[in-house]
Amino acid sequence: MAKTAIISDIHANYHALSAVIEDVRAMQCTDLVCLGDVVGYNAYPSECLDYVRELKCPVVKGNHDEEVVTPSKARMNPVARQAMDWTRGQLDAPRLRWLSLLQYQRIVRTDVGKTFSIVHSSLNHPKAWNYIINASDASNNFPRQFSQMCFHGHTHVPKIFVWDGKHAEEDHDNLHPLYLNGYTEFQPLPNHKYFINVGSVGQPRDSDPRACYGIFDTDLNLVIIKRVEYDIRAAQDAIRAANLPDYLAERLEKGI
């Protein structure tokens, strides 16, 4: 039996992470993978990093995980940059080293021998941190995707992209129930590839403030994307107590 929880973009939101992990256990997942951006923006980088590390699951590197170790001049807005500088001051050398050693992409093999890919942004330029927003963007990913299923994050917006061998399309029909009910499930079609964004645990940006994550059940050939309520107020209080930019607290309750 293999039922893998797929979590992404935790962004140091410990309240969201612990609520999601509680839900992962309630959903009786047997495995877990993390798609990066463990740190950045929110107030608990060390706690979230330690939590993920103790889960001993496959983790790939996100742009915030890279930026905190290797600061660059570009690519980050001022609010993210301020949070990043604060985050860097919170992490000790062993934690920074753990982040530095993360791979950009991985093939995950389940205990029943099935494989799928994980990456933070995309398989065609995993180190360039490009944003896969629409089917046209996704069409560049699929030639580099050698497994039927690949899961990614980075935009903080859940999406399902499908490749029929010739064209990439966005699968709105299977995503739509997530916005109606906070839950969707579907069976991937044979002879199609899927590139699925599981949304963000710690800073959703699709106007639904609840944490979001995915599940891939290889026994049932079933993909689930679902929302989880968490204590947003407590996460906001921690951001303000740490003197991080207030916008980071405001955006959590709006899901932006």
Instruction: List contacts with Zn ion (CB under 5 A).
Output: 9, 37
* Nearest to Zn ion of 37, 137 (CB atom): 37
Minimum gap (Å) between residue 10 Cβ and Zn ion: 9
Minimum gap (Å) between residue 218 Cβ and Zn ion: 26
Minimum gap (Å) between residue 63 Cβ and Zn ion: 7
Half-sphere exposure of 111 (CA within 13 A, CB side): 8
* Nearest to Zn ion of 31, 37 (CB atom): 37
Closest alpha carbon to 154 in 121, 202, 126, 127: 121
* Nearest to Zn ion of 9, 206 (CB atom): 9
Pairing of strands 193-197, 149-152: parallel
Residue the block writes with tokens 């992470």: 17
Minimum gap (Å) between residue 222 Cβ and Zn ion: 26
* Nearest to Zn ion of 162, 198 (CB atom): 198
* Nearest to Zn ion of 42, 218 (CB atom): 42
* Nearest to Zn ion of 37, 171 (CB atom): 37
- Whether the CB-CB separation of 189 and 201 falls below 8 Å is answered with no
Closest alpha carbon to 171 in 181, 186, 161: 161
Tokens of 103: 């791979």
* Residue sitting closest to Zn ion (CB): 37
Minimum gap (Å) between residue 11 Cβ and Zn ion: 6
Q: What is the torsional sign of CA 20, 152, 193, 174?
A: positive
What is residue 168's DSSP assignment? E
- Whether the CB-CB separation of 82 and 186 falls below 8 Å is answered with no
- Whether the CB-CB separation of 20 and 201 falls below 8 Å is answered with yes
Query: Which residue type occupies 209?
Result: P
Minimum gap (Å) between residue 27 Cβ and Zn ion: 23
